[in-house]
Amino acid sequence: MRKLIIAIIGLVLIALSVYVAQLLAKSNNKKRPEAPKVNKVVFTKKVTNSDIPVVIAANGVLNAKRNIEIFSEVAGIFKPGSKLFKTGQAYRKGQVLITIDNTEFKASLQAAKSNFHSLLASIMPDLRLDFPEAFKKWNSYLNNFSTNTPIGALPKTTSDKENYFMIGRGINSAYFNIKNLENRLSKYKITAPFNGILTESLVTEGTLIRNNQKLGEFIDNSAYEMQVNISKSYINFISIGDEVNLQNLEHTKHYKGKVSRINASVDAATQSVSVFIDLTDKTLKEGIYLEAKLNTKKIKNAIEINRNLLLDNNNVFIVRDSVLDKLPVTPVYFSDTKMIIKGLPNGTSILSKPLQGAFAGMIVKVFDANNTKDTK
């Protein structure tokens, strides 16, 4: 009897353990709930084609529009003047920049005039006998001749014989020699060709100046120009007279300018074209580095988007009924961050921000900025 009871209890325990094991196995095989599928949110904007102005960015260094280098054509000592020949000195048009001592040269000119006067006096008796009709005008010229004033024009000859007579006596050659000396005498005084400022001074008062020596630089500080290099692919957008907005590197000062010249040749090394911008402002200085934005021609029936929205093969993403699709476009102009494209119909929903992992056929949610909620 005891053995029977023990056997029955053992069977019950075995059955109970099997039952518990089955319950535990079933509890471990429960299916986890599936995660809800979430569609990515995209930002879009409606296409509204219009006339888009092309703004080309460039930069360059400002230079005076009129800039001359001062050279000496004669030699001598630099004499002190009414103004010091120093950098930054302002001069009005016609004011003397440099005066070179001309004492020795002026004396030689006076000697040449005196010799010419004597030569004229020596031919007067022959003129009275051979050319009585011409004597009066030449006698009047002789009486009015002075070695202290610029030589006057010779009387006009009325016949070939009279002309040959003057040439044979050396009157013409002596006259033109004096005119040449007077012209050279004027080079001992250098005057300002326009209102401006001396930007470089290489000599001082008392310096011995040599022929062909550079003395300094002089600029007109009322008008400036800036050369910028524009890619040849954009040059068709630029025309003479286009307005230009300029600013300094600190963006604290702004200026207005206009395109004045466009080079006709392309730089072979950079494939760019030189464009010159005129501007006038009292605060400008030569050598300032400026940033320029050229307001050029408008592109009709186009829109402007970020460059990172353009896909390979010149496509962009659009949204149709919450599904991404691709449409081909025609890029017309690229800037650093923006681009102008054509080919999208008005009202098309185009992505305004790039979406990572996007592909055609992808289901998305469009962000509604008005309700600040995602809508399908």
Which residues does residue 299 pair with via DSSP β-bridges, in sequence order?
52
Looking at the structure of the chain, the number of domains it has is 4
320: domain range?
A: 42-52+300-375
State pLDDT tens for residues 230-266: 988 888 889 999 999 999 999 999 999 999 999 999 9
Q: Both ends of the chain: CA-CA distance in Å?
A: 78
Q: What is the pLDDT of residue 91?
A: 95
Closest CA to 231 of 271, 173, 287: 271
Q: Name the one residue in this structure whose structure tokens are 């008008």.
A: 223
Q: What is the pLDDT of residue 37?
A: 60
Averaged pLDDT for residues 315-324: 91
- Same-domain status, 80 and 212: yes
- Same-domain status, 73 and 214: yes
Q: What is the pLDDT of residue 374?
A: 39
- Distance between CA atoms of 176 and 183, rounded to whole angstroms? 10
- Same-domain status, 316 and 196: no
State pLDDT tens for residues 269-314: 989 999 999 999 888 999 999 999 998 888 899 999 999 999 888 8
Phi/psi at 56 (5° precision): -100, 125
Q: Are 55 and 365 in contact (CB under 8 A)?
A: no
Domain-embedded: residue 277: yes
- Same-domain status, 143 and 267: no
Q: Which two tokens stand for residue 308?
A: 């990172």
Residue 327 belongs to domain with CATH number: 2.40.420.20
Looking at every residue in the chain, the average pLDDT score rounds to 88
- Same-domain status, 81 and 213: yes
State the DSSP string of 279-348. Answer: E--TT--TT-EEEEEEEEEEEEEEEEEEGGG-BTTTEEEEEETTEEEEEE-EEEEE-SSEEEEE-PPTT-
Provide the 3-class DSSP secondary structure of residue 14.
Answer: helix
Averaged pLDDT for residues 367-374: 50
Domain-embedded: residue 339: yes
Sign of the torsion formed by the C-alpha atoms of 232, 235, 240 and 241? negative
φ/ψ region of 337 (left if φ > 0, alpha if ψ in -120 to 50, else beta) reads alpha
Cα three-residue angle 336-338-339, rounded to 5 degrees: 110
**What amino acid is encoded at 12 in this protein?**
V
Q: CB 235: neighbour CB atoms within 10 A?
A: 17
Averaged pLDDT for residues 97-121: 94
- Same-domain status, 82 and 196: yes
Q: Are 228 and 289 in contact (CB under 8 A)?
A: no
State pLDDT tens for residues 8-62: 777 777 777 777 777 776 666 555 555 556 678 889 999 999 998 888 889 999 9
**Is 205 a residue whose pLDDT tops 80?**
yes
**What amino acid is encoded at 246 in this protein?**
L
Residue 243 belongs to domain with CATH number: 2.40.30.170
Q: What is the pLDDT of residue 371?
A: 43
Residue 73: pLDDT band with limits 50, 70, 90: very high
State pLDDT tens for residues 143-154: 999 988 999 999
Q: What is the pLDDT of residue 373?
A: 40
**What amino acid is encoded at 80 in this protein?**
P
